[in-house]
Each structure stands twice: as structure tokens, then as C-alpha cells.
Amino acid sequence: MIIAIYWFRNDLRLLDNPSFNQACRNTNFLLPIFINQNKAHDETPISQPKSSKLRKDFLEESLRDLRTQLKKLNSNLFELEGDFLQVFQDLQLQLDTRIIYCEEIQAEEELEQLDRLRDAGFEIRSLWQSSMIEPNSLPFDIADMPGVFTQFRLQVEKQKIKFTPPIESPTAIPPLPLITGIKNESSPLQVVIKDKLFYGGESKALYHIGQYFDRRLADTYKKTRNGLIGMDYSSKFSPWLALGCCSARTIANKLTEYEYEFGSNDGTYWIWFELLWRDYFRFLSFKTENQIHNKKNDSEEVSDARTNNYLTEFNGIKFKRWSTSYTGDSFIDAGMRELISTGYLSNRMRQVVASYWIYNLSGDWRVGAAWFKAQLIDYDVYSNQGNWQYISGKGLDHQGGRQFNIAKQTQDHDPNGIYQKLWLT
């Protein structure tokens, strides 16, 4: 008789979730849980910016959707709060199991969590499942992976590396073990934001992907991807990808089917190209054994973004102006206003405001990255850190960073000031 816990982390879905499938196949009783670490963090007195309400809402919606789907298969999702180790120790007392299934996340805090659980005697059965391409399909050993994206891409393309097709949702889930005293519903959402663009959850993700391809937006992606206004200039897959409401393989599979039906073109190729960027930042974490997310990789003597007081001590006034959209540069301020108001920002504006923070305000990239982390509903540790490092020139790609000329960017992308007017009036 095998009783186990399934710990949903950044994989809030049933479709193409190999780790959850494995747990379903190999256990007799399974307790699906999510640990709300935002809530736990918010109670600690550190000066890491708190997650925005938009970010929390998107997560809550995603959890709700997952719970609904689990319930349809006679299971449930238990949302727990507090220190993750304590949560598992409490569950272990009730369930008499030390087996935890979960997805593997190759980032410092998340790896440390699994180490602490192993040290406490838990048996972790984890699977890597967040990239489009499997690490072991790469044409090189991950330790020898090129540190520059173009070289990485050329090798992947030259060898015609393909993704493994996504797997189906489980058709049955093992029954819940007998358990008492834990909350099984999250509190209702407090505020419904009427004009919100993104709603969390696997069903919303699959709907969004379907309509994106049905409306044939993929064909024009390359032409429109540097747009700033609206839902259609880019795919907007990122919020759902970030929480794992859908997998990159599901999108890649849809893209392949689409190309089969309508033919490939610049637009469809460029979506693949961007998904490959996403994989590249993930694989960098393996290559650098996660040091990429760590200050040990950075020789500058600035306060550590992972510890206390960096926001108050490091460039406090400049940070406040930048983060609250009062720099005085209206293009930058419009971008920062959009970020706070929606939890999303176009790739172009992310690059521009990040460059402004690093080069015009001489800010520490880690402070900027921490602000993005708190605001973005599509926050993803690999893509966020990777892109910030790329722009600041602190990553493996030592090409001296990418500084954007703000006046030129404004002229090129918002010549008539429509974007600025949209967010600043």
C-alpha cells in the first residue's frame, strides 16, 4: 500500500504533467497539495518586495482551476501555508508517509527545499518537466552547452532536435488518503478586477492557446512581436507557462500541428525561436549548477538581493522613482505604470526599462529583477534572471551587456506617444 503526497509547484496542470502522472500510476493513495509560500514570505520581515495582488490573484485562479479539475476525478487540492518543511512534517504524522512526488526546479531556493526535505528523511521522487526540449535530447552534454544563445540555437537546429510530444492528462487519480484537520478550499478572491487581461488556470491556458492559433495570429507574430499595446501583438503564453498551467511541449505541439495544416512561415518559426530562448535560460541553470541565480556569480560589492535591506540601502531614491513610475522619462514611466497595473509588460518594454535602471540610473540588476519578480504574473526564475543578466552583461554571455538608447526606442516604438498617453493619463 503506497501513500504519497503530490506537491504541485510550478506545474499547476493535469495535461502533460509527467511527474503527476507518475505519482498517479505508482501510488494507492495520493494527496495533492500546494504550499502557498507567498503568504509565508509576506509574514517575514525582510525587505524583498511583496508579490503584487495581481500576481497573487493569478495564482489563486490557477489553483482554483486545478482544484476543479482534480475534483472531477474525485480528488482535490489542499492549499497549505507556512514553512514547507513543517507542512510536510505535519502531513507525515497524519499520513504515515515520507514519499513526495514533485517536479524538479533547477533554481537555488527550490533545490535547497528538496535537500532539506531529504535531510529530514523524506523520499523525493522528482522529475524535470518544464522545458520544451528534454535536457538529454540536447546535442551536447549540458555542462558543455554554449554560453551564447545563438550558438546554442544553431546546434539545436543543425541536429534537428525535436521536443517529446506532450502526454495526456491522467484519466484516474488515486483516492485521497484519510486526513483530518487541513483546509481544502482557499478563501474566496477578495476583489474581482473587471478589466483584467489574464485569468489563471489550465482551462484558461488551453483556451487561450487554442484561440491564438485559431485566429492565425502565429502567422504575423514576427511582424508584431515588438508591439506595446493590446493582447495580440505577441502570444501572451507566458503567464500560464510560468505557473505551469500549460507546458511548453503543449504549445510546441500545437505549433507543429498548425504548421502541418497551414505551412510554416517567419511567424511560426519565431515562436519556436522564442520558446528556445526560454529553454536556453533553463538549461543555463544546469550548466552553471544554479550559480547563475546566485550572487557568487557576480563580483560587484553591492548588497545581496537575497538578504535584508538591499532595497532601503541600495539606491533607495532612484529605485522608488523607477519602480513607482516617476523617473520623469515618460516612456519609462508608462512602462513601469503598465507593469504595476497589469502584472505584464511587453518584451520590448522589459528590455527598455531594465536598461534604463541599469545604465541610466546605475542600478543593481538584482534589485530590478527583484521588483519584476514581485510584479510579474509571468515571473519565471530562469527567464527573469537570465534576461536581467543578459542586459546587464553579468551572465555567461560576456558581450558587455545591452544598453538601449531610450530616445531612439521611444521614437521607434511610440513615435506618436500613444502608449505613453495610454498609461500616463
Ligand X SMILES: Cc1cc2nc3c(=O)[nH]c(=O)nc-3n(C[C@H](O)[C@H](O)[C@H](O)COP(=O)(O)OP(=O)(O)OC[C@H]3O[C@@H](n4cnc5c(N)ncnc54)[C@H](O)[C@@H]3O)c2cc1C
What is the binding site for ligand X (CB under 6 A)? 225, 234-238, 241-242, 271, 274-275, 277-278, 281, 346-347, 350-351, 354, 372, 376, 378-380, 383-384, 387-388, 391
Closest approach of ligand X to the CB of residue 214, in Å: 16
Contact indicator for 216, 259 with CB cutoff of 8 Å: no
76: helix, strand or coil: coil
Q: Which three cell numbers stand for residue 400?
A: 558587455
Q: Which is nearer to ligand X, 25 or 53 (CB)?
A: 53
Q: Which is nearer to ligand X, 68 or 341 (CB)?
A: 341
Q: Which has the closest alpha carbon to 126: 37, 31, 17?
A: 17
Closest approach of ligand X to the CB of residue 120, in Å: 30
CA–CA separation, 40 and 104 (whole Å): 21
Q: Which is nearer to ligand X, 101 or 379 (CB)?
A: 379
Closest approach of ligand X to the CB of residue 398, in Å: 18
**At residue 228, what are phi and psi to the nearest 5 degrees?**
-125, -20
Q: Which has the closest alpha carbon to 81: 69, 90, 72?
A: 90
Contact indicator for 239, 122 with CB cutoff of 8 Å: no
Q: Which is nearer to ligand X, 102 or 354 (CB)?
A: 354
Closest approach of ligand X to the CB of residue 15, in Å: 17
User: For the range 316-324, what are the long-range contacts, defined as Cβ-Cβ under 8 Å and sequence gap of 24 or more?
Assistant: 318/361, 318/362, 318/363, 319/363, 319/367, 319/371, 321/361, 322/353, 322/356, 322/357, 322/361, 322/363, 322/368, 323/49, 323/371
Q: Which is nearer to ligand X, 31 or 391 (CB)?
A: 391
CA–CA separation, 124 and 103 (whole Å): 10
Contact indicator for 404, 352 with CB cutoff of 8 Å: yes
126: β partners: 102
Q: Which is nearer to ligand X, 281 or 322 (CB)?
A: 281
CA–CA separation, 225 and 235 (whole Å): 8
Closest approach of ligand X to the CB of residue 386, in Å: 6
Closest approach of ligand X to the CB of residue 107, in Å: 12
Closest approach of ligand X to the CB of residue 251, in Å: 8
Q: Which is nearer to ligand X, 26 or 226 (CB)?
A: 226
Closest approach of ligand X to the CB of residue 235, in Å: 3
Q: Which is nearer to ligand X, 85 or 422 (CB)?
A: 422
